Amino acid sequence: MNKFQPKVVVIGGGTGNYTVLSGLKRYTENITALVNMSDDGGSTGVLRDELGVLPPGDVRQCLVALSDTRRVRDLFTYRFDQGGLKGHSFGNLFLSAVEKMTDSFEEAVSVASEVLHIHGEVVPVTLQKTTLLAKTKKGTELKGENVIGSTALDAQFPEITFDKKAYLNIHAKKAIANADVVVISPGNLYGSLAPALIVDGMKQALKTTKAKIVCITNLVTKPGQTDGFSVATHVEEIERLIGQQGIVDFVIYNTDEPTKRTYEKYVKDNELLLPFDLDDLESASYTALGMPLIDKSPVVVDSSDKISHVRTWIRHDSDRIAREIMKIAFS
């Protein structure tokens, strides 16, 4: 490992952040994962409703991604498959229990970080308890991250807000200010990335940091939400959600194709590989870096996961992404 270890901040939700963090921890210890706090699906949604806690699911995934302690990682990802706890992961229960005991979600994350012996730090992007809202072109209001992330919208570029003010966590603000690179992870654009990017104070933090801002685009489009999107459109929408055009410095996008069998499943569901136009990318304000990014290893699905049916089968190559981020950091 190089003596100079860049300070990298990764912004996003669960699976996208997990992928990026899993690769990055091999190259630098100076990682801060800023995690969206609007998750309300599966085990997390039940715990939010029944205990009134902040959503633990995405934070738990990031903690596990940054840990090298295999047995404890397995414990935190273990999901009960029967009884009253069916569908809950141990890690979610652990975080919620410590939050209830200490009345502090940050303390819960700190304790879990010690137990998992993580490389870096996991920081909730906000500590306000909020519900994600979306308004479609027809004026229909959708409520909740899980609903918004899985519902076909009647128009692109929907209005995404919270039900109340959500302020950028001061620790998140400091991490962005001190970073060498800030990475916007891939992920569900409106159900995972938007709730991290629209937090009050995020735009200003990204505008004022001296860090290089990197956007990793999704591999496929999402029916009813990003139909017709290209790599350039994806970045344009990221900047619209942040509220600042031209804020992205580098874009990492995929040029590879998945196995025929896997892609046939996606095409059947009208999920298509994100296309790119080289002329558009060459004239963009950012530097576009295209490369094969699809992880060809098989995806293991947990049958006790209540929302496993909506999880993606085509995933980014975490090591390739990490190596490219390191190149940008050293450039």
- Percentages (nearest 5) of helix, strand, coil residues in the chain: 40, 15, 40
Question: 213's torsion region: left (phi>0), alpha (psi -120 to 50) or beta?
Answer: beta
Pull the structure tokens for residue 246.
């031209």
At 64-122, the pLDDT tens digits run: 999 999 999 999 999 999 899 999 999 999 999 999 999 999 999 999 999 999 999 99
Cβ proximity of 189 and 222 under 8 Å? yes
Task: Answer whether residue 304 shows pLDDT above 50.
Answer: no
Rounded CA-CA distance 27/34 in Å is: 18
Task: Point out which residues pair with 295 in neighbouring strands.
Answer: 315
State the burial class of residue 288 (Cβ atoms within 10 Å of its Cβ: 0-12, 13-18, 19+): buried
Look-up: residue for tokens 């959503």?
55
Look-up: residue for tokens 């095409």?
267
Rounded CA-CA distance 153/138 in Å is: 10
Pull the structure tokens for residue 222.
């999402």
Look-up: residue for tokens 């891939």?
186
At 112-145, the pLDDT tens digits run: 999 999 999 999 999 999 999 998 777 788 999 9
Task: Point out which residues pair with 237 in neighbouring strands.
Answer: none
Q: Supply angle C-alpha 293, 298, 299, rounded to 5.
A: 90
Domain ranges of the chain: 8-38+127-330
Q: Which residue has the higher pLDDT, 9 or 311?
A: 9
Rounded CA-CA distance 202/222 in Å is: 25
- HSE on the CB side for 243, CA within 13 Å? 15
Task: Point out which residues pair with 316 in neighbouring strands.
Answer: 294
5 residue type, one letter: Q
pTM summary value: 0.91
Q: What is the average pLDDT across 168-173?
A: 98
Which CATH class, in words, describes the domain spanning 8-38+127-330? alpha beta
Q: In what order do the strands lie in the sheet with 287-291?
A: 121-124, 31-35, 8-12, 181-184, 212-216, 250-254, 287-291
Q: What is the pLDDT of residue 1?
A: 47
Pull the structure tokens for residue 129.
């308890």
